[in-house]
Structure 1
Amino acid sequence: MSQSVTRLLDLSDVEELTELLRVNRDFLKPWSPAWDDEFFTVERQQELAEEALRLHHDASMVPWVICDEHGRIAGRLNLNGIVRGALQSAAVGYWVGEQFNAQGLATAAVAEAVVHSREVLGLHRLQAETLVHNIASQRVLETNGFSRYGMAQEYLKIEGVWQDHLMYQRILF
């Protein structure tokens, strides 16, 4: 993909993003925390977007939307928990809606996050975690030069159950 697939989240994205989440509620369920009905409202997504932009302003997060070639929002990618000092690290998390799956958008978005993290943020390391059975996400990371370095038992509560996650990292320089 030659054109950028990511851009900074904007508050004007909230309605489109909320609708994408609603349409993909069942598709995203196996990979997500147990979201209540309120999560899928414009009001809650507005609050979450405002918080993400506050964290971005404080330089501790980069909240992006992932867009297809027509500019439609296809998903999200966040650089979370940006740490400076001796660590110079962040965690990357992402998702795309089912209708945008297998089009290379997540792979391209992670590639852009790697470049941004190295060249703009000056980070040394990115990390990511995937559910053990999330082979597609593991492929996205491995395609982008991430290497598996361990497994965290009962790492995140997904669908109401503490689940194991594979740990990935990419050293940027």
Structure 2
Amino acid sequence: MAVTCLVVMGVSGSGKSTVAQQLGDALHWPVAEADEFHPAANIEKMSAGVPLTDADRAPWLAALRDWITERADAGDNTVVACSALKRAYRDTLRQARARVRFVHLTGSPALITERLAIRSGHFMPPSLLDSQLGDLEPLHDDEDGITVDLAPPPEQIVSSVLDRLGLHSASGDA
């Protein structure tokens, strides 16, 4: 059976990290937080309110792809929380030796702005939300994934994702 990586994607403040961790817990799959793969220069730019360019993101996406491949080669299904805003970025992640499936968390900019306003301890300032929304390319019909409303509680989102993707809690099967 093919090894699977679920990439929980969306703009900053959409709940990627929370949903990814809960999916990982439910499935007993390792979870990676894409923010931890950013080089220091990227974090410095974002902390200063400067949007990243495609060139800034290329090594970051390659590192994530390589992590997915390393885990897949070891036979591990995984979950990754990653913005994956553009199709080109998702294409890079799909180069991993795993079945990469996307869970796009989407919702109203007003709700995301509310969430960002109460979030603390993150290097991504709320001022960059507009640039992320501008970069966001929703999943295309030929991409392996689903789009999910981010408004419900995380537990409800996770249950919906597992059901819609045909995954079963704690089974490890994809």
Do they fold alike, i.e. is TM over 0.5?
Answer: no
Q: Which has the higher strand share?
A: 1
